[in-house]
């Protein structure tokens, strides 16, 4: 059985999921409104913010995706888990 994860893990993961949801919705909107400069600006802000919070999460808890940057040259961090979909 895996060790219990701190509440901070779950709150960060929830925030990442919310930002990813906004990015998907904005990209769908922009598919039909490609010249909406306000939506483009919003998309870019969320994309930058998403990148920042994912980097923060990974620095504390390890990789979010298999293709994430491995934090060490000594061991493969992705194998350590738990994987985000397991929590």
* pLDDT tens readout for residues 28-53: 999 999 999 999 999 999 999 999 99
Tracing tokens 């483009």 back to the chain, one arrives at 40
pTM metric for this prediction: 0.76
Residues lower than pLDDT 50 in the chain: 1
- Cβ(13)–Cβ(7) under 8 Å? no
Q: Where are the domains of the chain?
A: 1-62
């Amino acid at each position: 059985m895996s060790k219990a994860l701190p509440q901070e893990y779950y709150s960060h993961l929830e925030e990442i999921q919310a930002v990813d949801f906004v990015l998907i919705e904005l990209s769908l909107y922009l598919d039909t409104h490609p010249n909406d400069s306000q939506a483009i600006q919003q998309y870019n802000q969320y994309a930058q913010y998403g990148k920042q919070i994912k980097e923060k999460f990974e620095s504390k808890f390890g990789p979010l995706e298999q293709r994430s940057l491995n934090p060490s040259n000594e061991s493969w961090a992705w194998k350590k888990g738990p994987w985000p979909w397991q929590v």
